[in-house]
Amino acid sequence: MYEVKDRVCSLTLNRPEKKNALNAAMVSDLKKLFTHAEADASVKVIVLKANGDVFCSGADLESLQQLQKNSHEDNLKDSNHLKELFYQIYTLKKVVIAQVQGHALAGGCGLATVCDFVFAVPIAKMGYTEVRIGFVPAIVMVFLLRKVGEQRAKQLLLSGELISGEDTLKFGLVNQLVAEEQLSDEVISFCTRLIQNNSIQSMELTKQMIAQSQSMTLEDGLSYAAEMNAKARATDDCKRGINAFLNKEKLTW
């Protein structure tokens, strides 16, 4: 589901009867919706949320059953399909916020992990249970290592344990815990602050740099940073922002 209000685009997982489990069709739909939201000039921030009691339970049972019949080529194609969605969200030009109103498990937790911010209810269980069914959390591992570091990633990925509440904050899976009845309002309030206070060009360049610079050597990273610094100075937003700052004018983006 795709909805835009006050420059916030809400993308809603809408298979509550299947606990919003991921299958090939759902991944395709999400890729199309994120592509549309990225190009939509009326959108500044994107919220990924879900209908029902569960945010996302991971792979669809029918998809898991099909894995046993697939050839290597079929499995690689399916894996690349999910990889492309995760990479798309992680590198999307616009900020993506996960609104986790219920459990986010395995691939569903991966879906939240690749978002820029995660707001969750305290009772939401999160984790990667793949090792408990003889599988591997392969694709999300690449992003989780960046997000929480090796020690915490190992504990989550190798144990397969689910965590909730303050533990999700401690492990870095969640930015903020919010009571269920306040979750939607808190997310919208945060979106509004980003929309009113921050330049979309600046957020885009900053997000791009975070994704790119971590794989560089120190020297290459600094050279890249200097280049992006110079590029940012030439943007219309930077010129407008500096002018407002110097003239002590209130700026609303």
Residues annotated as catalytic are: 130
CA torsion sign for 188, 189, 190, 191 is: positive
* Distant-in-sequence, close-in-space partners of 23: CB < 8 Å, separation ≥ 6: 59, 60, 62, 63
CA distance 173 to 191: 19
Q: Which two tokens stand for residue 244?
A: 């407002």
From 87, 80, 133, select the one nearest 110 (Cα to Cα).
87
CA distance 61 to 53: 18
CA distance 25 to 17: 16
CA distance 139 to 48: 19
How does strand 2-5 pair with strand 8-13? Answer: antiparallel
